[in-house]
Amino acid sequence: MPVIQEYYSPTNSESKGQEIQAVSFEEWVDKLEASGNEPNVDVSKNPALKLLEFFQGMRLGGASARLDMKGTSERSASMRALKPVNGEWMKMWLDQWKF
C-alpha cells in the first residue's frame, strides 16, 4: 500500500494528482457498488465492476480463496524460486497499467 500511495501522491511527478487512502474491504465494495450506479458508468475506467458480484460475495463470506501455496511449491521448482511481490514490481505494474 505505501508504494501505491507514493505513486499517486500529488507530489510525485508521474502521478495523476490523485491521493490514495487505505479503506477497509467492506468500504471499498460499498464504493464500488456506488460507482456502478452512476449514470453512464464506463466499465473500462473501473474494470473491478465486472467482478462486483464476486466481491459482494466475499464481503458476505460467501466466497473464499485458498492462498496456501505449500503443495504447489513442493511440486514446482519455479514456484519455489519466486520471491514475494515488492515495491519495484508494484511501481512497474502501475506504470504499465496506466491507472
Model's pTM, two decimal places? 0.64
What's the pLDDT tens digit per position in 8-40? 887 776 655 667 888 999 999 999 999 988 888
Q: Which stretch of 11-15, 20-24, 70-74, 89-93 has the lowest confidence by average pLDDT?
A: 11-15
Is 49 in contact with 36 (CB distance < 8 Å)? yes
- pLDDT, position 15: 56
Cell of 20: 490514495
What's the pLDDT tens digit per position in 49-65? 999 999 998 888 755 56
